[in-house]
Amino acid sequence: MICKLAVDSVLVRVFAHTKIVRNGSTSASYVVVGAGSAGCVLASRLTESGTESVLLLEAGPRDTLLGSKRLAWKVHMPAALTYNLGDRRYNWYYHTTPQRAMDDRRLYWPRGRVWGGSSSLNAMVFVRGHPEDYDRWDREGAAGWSYSSCLPYFRRSETHSLGGDEYRGRDGPLRVTRVHDDHPLHLAFLEAGSQAGYPFTPDMNGFQQEGFGWMDTSVHRGQRWSAACAYLHPSLSRPNITALNGTLATRVLFDGTRAVGVEYERNGNIERVYADKEVILSGGAINSPQLLLLSGVGDEKHLKSLDIPVVTHRPGVGQNLQDHLEIYVQQACTQPITLYRAQKPLRMLAIGMEWMLKFTGQGSSAHLHTGGFIRSAAGVPHPDIQFHFLPSQVIDHGRTASTAEAYQVHVGPMRPTSRGWIKLNSRDPREHPVIEANYLATKQDVREMRQCVKMSREVFAQPAFDHFRGLEIVPGPEVKSDAEIDAAVRALADSAYHPSCTCKMGDPKDPTAVVDPETRVIGIEGLRVVDASIMPSVVSGNLNAPTIMLAEKAADIIRGLAPLPPCHVPVYSPPSLETQR
């Protein structure tokens, strides 16, 4: 089944079901900025009834070929994901400031700039996080966002290939697939986890996150199933939705402290659109705080330093930045069974042709089929380390070709204690903001990254890998002591692409909160933020599934609908919690 694409007449429709107001400008019920994972959900859900209109603005291109309804293969072929990570056409191509605790390296942060946002760039790993993450949100001031309140929206969002149950969805827009791959290295990884003493989990997104197991993916019948495929494209035939690309939002328009519209640049022209009800920012953890700051919502001192008129003083805008840091532990493989040969030019051509003709073969998968969640120490209440296993070698975000038959784990801590921030470089909306990730700023984060390397080596040393294990490539066999491991982490670790929490949701009385539990910007009328930036704290896993859930739940809030009934389900607790990791 090919991702449902609208016909050309719909794609080129301009402002259908909108009103012309104010010197020829347009208006819609809702103006949504950003067609990423959250924005696509909102555009679809807010127009379901047919009574409200949405204008969706996206700075990047469509996820289809220019002037066509055909798929853009770089986006929709799962195995081509590394092309997106290095392609400025689909990517904001951000970098952090020099990281003091990481040898002053400027880390690369690819973020989606295309219909589907980062769900059109990511590795399609579909992980919800741990139930305790959402109960923590509730305790941190996001009342109504506990696990039992969020689970119904996880279920509503998805159709799972294994069918629905009390944890999984059965009839949602998002296609979620569990792949049981018979590749010997995936099987060895699962067996090695068992040999190292860790449990097997039949469903990381269900009763038991902890353990090693098969991962869910947002792939359907050989194609990436992004938020654009799931939500946006099926909605474009509605007369009350208009999705524009190539529109860079430059500021939110205010009448006093009420948001009334958005100013944006398109084809070199500055234009305005007005919202009859609300403006909703869904640009993500970097773009949403940047746009708030450009619009005069943020720390008063910072705004005045750039001569930006202050609409309201919200010092939390851009603060509380959290991300997952990870390192690739790579092992040479003694047998020619990795993806190394698949990356040779002629073989890549054959793989690409098979995918384009039938959506099958090695091009139909990102090959991240197994992983694990474990606790780093006794007494840790739920898993704080995540593994992604790959039967291949990745170098520099895939921008450099593999050099050997090898396999690897991407491994990193799930709940870092370091906090960063985002600020403006200037008043120019085209200029990237300052991204201070502040990685490894605490001793705990340094210790946990060190533990990640040690535990990865422990898994790779198990008998299950005896038939495949060559020399360690990264960090390398010469890296042995704690000091040497710490030095390797500083030199080699990279972002797991999970920036979040920069417009924190919390109690309106909390001076560091940016939005309330209804997703409304505190101190402002008619303005919401709905994306990963409003997470109070980063979840223990990948961010695409939680972001889609968040937008599903927010859509009901915005529409004034009663929340879905809470789902109270059992959650695994390890029997050896206090005695073993």
Whether residue 25 lies inside any domain: the answer is yes
Whether residue 87 lies inside any domain: the answer is yes
Say if residue 568's pLDDT is above 80: yes
Q: Give, to the nearest 10 degrees, the angle between helix 37-46 and helix 544-559.
A: 30
Say if residue 358's pLDDT is above 50: yes
Q: How confident is the model at residue 66 (pLDDT cuts 50, 70, 90)?
A: low
Q: State the average pLDDT over residues 176-186.
A: 94
Q: State the average pLDDT over residues 105-134.
A: 97
Element (H, E) at 251: strand 247-255
Q: What is the pLDDT of residue 576?
A: 78
Q: Please classify residue 335 by burial: count the beta carbons closer than 10 Å to its beta carbon, then call 0-12 exposed, 13-18 middle and 19+ buried.
A: exposed
Q: How confident is the model at residue 68 (pLDDT cuts 50, 70, 90)?
A: low
Mean pLDDT score of the chain, rounded to an integer?
94
Q: What is the pLDDT of residue 332?
A: 98
Q: What is the pLDDT of residue 142?
A: 98
Of all residues in the chain, what percent carry a pLDDT higher than 90? 90
Q: Which of 220, 367, 382, 498 is catalytic?
A: 498
Say if residue 16's pLDDT is above 70: no
Whether residue 315 lies inside any domain: the answer is yes
Q: Which residues contact 86 (CB under 8 A, 6 or more apart)?
A: 110, 397, 398, 399
Whether residue 579 lies inside any domain: the answer is no
**Helix/strand/coil (H, E, C) string of 313-336?**
ECCCCCCCEECCEEEEEEEEECCC
DSSP string over 38-93 = HHHHHHHHHTTTSSS-EEEE-SS--SB-TTSSSB-HHHH-GGGHHHHHT-TTSB--
Of 388, 374, 415, 367, the closest CA to residue 209 belongs to: 374
Say if residue 157's pLDDT is above 60: yes
Of 293, 569, 333, the closest CA to residue 471 belongs to: 333
Residues 243, 40: Cα–Cα separation, whole Å: 10
Whether residue 217 lies inside any domain: the answer is yes
Give me the torsion for CA of 150, 154, 157, 162, rounded to 10°: -160
Of all residues in the chain, what percent carry a pLDDT higher than 70? 94
Whether residue 565 lies inside any domain: the answer is no
Helix/strand/coil for 474: strand
Length of the chain: 581
Q: How many separate domains does the chain show? A: 1
Domain range spanning residue 272? 8-64+72-104+112-559
Q: Please classify residue 303 by burial: count the beta carbons closer than 10 Å to its beta carbon, then call 0-12 exposed, 13-18 middle and 19+ buried.
A: buried
Whether residue 250 lies inside any domain: the answer is yes
Q: What is the pLDDT of residue 85?
A: 87
The distance of Cα 125 from the centroid of its chain, to the nearest Å, equals 10
SS3 content of the chain, % helix, strand, coil (to 5): 30, 25, 45
Q: What is the pLDDT of residue 64?
A: 87
N-to-C CA span, the chain: 43
Query: In which residue are the tokens 């790993």 written?
Result: 125
Q: 247-265: per-residue pLDDT in tens?
A: 999 999 999 999 999 999 9
Cβ atoms of 27 and 261 within 8 Å: the answer is: yes
Whether residue 3 lies inside any domain: the answer is no
Say if residue 12's pLDDT is above 90: no
Q: How confident is the model at residue 365 (pLDDT cuts 50, 70, 90)?
A: very high
Active site residue 498: yes
Cβ atoms of 21 and 530 within 8 Å: the answer is: no
Specify the range with the lowest mean pLDDT, choosing from 20-34, 289-303, 436-450, 528-542: 20-34
Q: How confident is the model at residue 101 (pLDDT cuts 50, 70, 90)?
A: very high
Say if residue 109's pLDDT is above 70: yes
Q: What is the pLDDT of residue 248?
A: 98
Q: What is the pLDDT of residue 577?
A: 75
Tokens of 227: 């938020």
- Looking at residue 165, which CATH number applies to its domain? 3.50.50.60
Element (H, E) at 451: helix 443-460
Q: What is the pLDDT of residue 1?
A: 44
Say if residue 367's pLDDT is above 70: yes
